[in-house]
Amino acid sequence: MTTQQQNTGVTAAKGFRASGVTAGLKASGAPDLALVVNDGPLLAAAGVFTLNRVKAAPVLWSEQVLKGGQVSAFVLNSGGANACTGPGGFQDTHATAEKVAGELGLNAGEVAVASTGLIGVRLPMDVLLPGVEQAAKALSADGGEAAAIAIKTTDTVHKTAQVTSAAGWTVGGMAKGAGMLAPGLATMLVVLTTDAVLESAELDAALRAATRTTFDRVDSDGCMSTNDTVLLLASGASEVTPDQAEFAEAVRAVSADLARQLVGDAEGASKDIRIDVTGAATEDEAVDVARTIARNNLLKCALHGEDPNWGRVLAAIGTTKAAFDPDRLDVAINGVWVCRDGCVGEDRDLVDMTGRDIVITADLKAGRASASVWTNDLTADYVHENSAYSS
């Protein structure tokens, strides 16, 4: 596989057009509406959505659309989450899908919708619907970058990734947000596209396998979104039926690339942190321990301060139900085993934490399973961004 750069994100694969325009939903005047259209010949699709029980209107809508297994277009707006907006909010989503369908001559039941922004505020449909007309006119076979820009909220950079197989097919994608799929922060939206020839069930298997170890294991701040949506659309335009394992790996690679970009651009973060848990009895326990470490505010503050405070790692592990013996726990920070057998190990002064990347390794010595979770430090900038967000 090679990475191609000539056309980026959701239009890297053949058979897709995209656009990103300024409808006027954001006070800043930045682009706020993206449209991705699958020109086929296939319209196969798979999706995963937030597990939050409080789901935004577009999530409820798109879950229904995906049940049909066909998506011809996907419209995404920033500047408003359309969550906790009641029946009126759902009608707004429906009207948005109908508008896309009308502009492009499609069936509204095959138009997926995603929204991101502040919860609890209705979308200004008098602004959004003309934006859809504009987005439809702007569709282009190299519109992937414009679309990625239009879905940004607090993102400082837009995120795209793509992988092309020697067999002649491509998987590309775009993402916004700084958090995880389920739970997820302040709304992660991801669109993956491929021109490989695949059925929806095959897409679904590849997508679920990929998200399980990528987007699902990004935990920037432990807050689950009402709007998280990840769709994988296949056009079949390459006319190549891929090897399933190679295709699954390509979807995983693009997802991992985008997930890594999300962590790298998380709100207010100054450190990108990977928590590796090894020696767990089961993978579920490894994930649980890694996630619990990743969510410990005291530790996240210490890491921000470049303080190799391994005691806070142990205190976090101790709150889980995973199999381990407190007197046998080993913890390394950036490769220095500062904790051995539950107490002081190598000299903490040997730990170099000056770089942006930090790796914490916790060996539970209770089995052979392992897992990694990606997170960020907790900073004054995070507090500032999130205390001023809606005001």
Task: CB nearer to its own copies: give 325 or 357.
Answer: 325
Q: How many CB atoms lie within 10 A of CB 309?
A: 17
CB of 39 to its own copies, least distance (A): 36
CA 313 to chain centroid: 26
Does residue 386 interact with its own copies by CB under 8 A?
A: yes
CB of 177 to its own copies, least distance (A): 13
Q: What share of the chain is helix, strand, coil (3-state, %, to 5)?
A: 35, 25, 40
Task: CB nearer to its own copies: give 160 or 296.
Answer: 296
From the list 116, 160, 164, 187, the catalytic residue is 187
Q: Cis before residue 326, ω within 30 degrees of 0?
A: no
Q: Which of 263, 302, 351, 373 binds its own copies (CB under 8 A)?
A: 302
Residue owning tokens 């590309």? 172
Binding part of the chain for its own copies, among 15-23, 34-42, 273-281, 296-304 by CB under 8 A, reads 296-304
Strands (E), the chain: 16-21, 33-38, 44-49, 73-77, 111-115, 159-164, 170-176, 189-194, 229-234, 272-280, 330-333, 336-340, 343-344, 357-363, 369-376
Task: CB nearer to its own copies: give 183 or 236.
Answer: 183
Question: What 3-state class would DSSP assign to 114?
Answer: strand
Q: What's the DSSP call for residue 173? A: E
Q: Which of 304, 351, 364, 369 binds its own copies (CB under 8 A)?
A: 304
CB of 330 to its own copies, least distance (A): 12
Residue numbers in the known binding site for substrate are 153, 176, 187, 267, 386, 391
Is 11 among the catalytic positions?
Answer: no
CB of 102 to its own copies, least distance (A): 27
Does residue 334 interact with its own copies by CB under 8 A?
A: no
Side chain identity, residue 61 = W
Task: CB nearer to its own copies: give 63 or 306.
Answer: 306
CB of 374 to its own copies, least distance (A): 17
Judged by CB under 8 A, the chain residues 155 through 194 that form the site for its own copies are 183, 185-186
C-alpha closest to that of 110 among 152, 66, 143, 147: 66
Does residue 89 interact with its own copies by CB under 8 A?
A: yes
Judged by CB under 8 A, the chain residues 230 through 289 that form the site for its own copies are none
Residue numbers in the known binding site are 153, 176, 187, 267, 386, 391
Does residue 125 interact with its own copies by CB under 8 A?
A: no
Extract the tokens encoding 237: 């335009």
Side chain identity, residue 76 = L
Q: Is the dihedral of CA 362, 367, 370, 373 positive or negative?
A: negative
Q: How many CA atoms lie within 13 A of 219 on its CB side?
A: 23
Task: CB nearer to its own copies: give 164 or 278.
Answer: 278
CB of 305 to its own copies, least distance (A): 3
Judged by CB under 8 A, the chain residues 94 through 123 that form the site for its own copies are 118-122
Interaction pattern, residues 344-363, with its own copies; x per rule: CB under 8 A? x-------------------
Task: CB nearer to its own copies: give 137 or 356.
Answer: 356
Q: What's the DSSP call for residue 266? A: -
Q: Give helix then strand counts, H and E, for the chain.
A: 10, 15
Q: Which of 67, 343, 355, 368 binds its own copies (CB under 8 A)?
A: 343
Angle between helices 57-67 and 86-104 (to 10 degrees): 50
C-alpha closest to that of 147 among 224, 219, 89, 231: 231
Q: Which of 224, 237, 269, 371 binds its own copies (CB under 8 A)?
A: 224
Does residue 7 interact with its own copies by CB under 8 A?
A: no
Asked if 36 contacts 18 with a C-beta cutoff of 8 angstroms, the reply is yes
CA–CA distance, 71 with 112 (Å, rounded to integer): 7
Asked if 9 contacts 162 with a C-beta cutoff of 8 angstroms, the reply is yes
Binding site for its own copies (CB under 8 A): 51-55, 81, 83-86, 88-89, 118-122, 183, 185-186, 221-226, 295-298, 301-302, 304-307, 309-312, 314-320, 324, 326-327, 329, 339, 341-344, 378-380, 382-391
Please give the positions annotated as active site.
Answer: 187
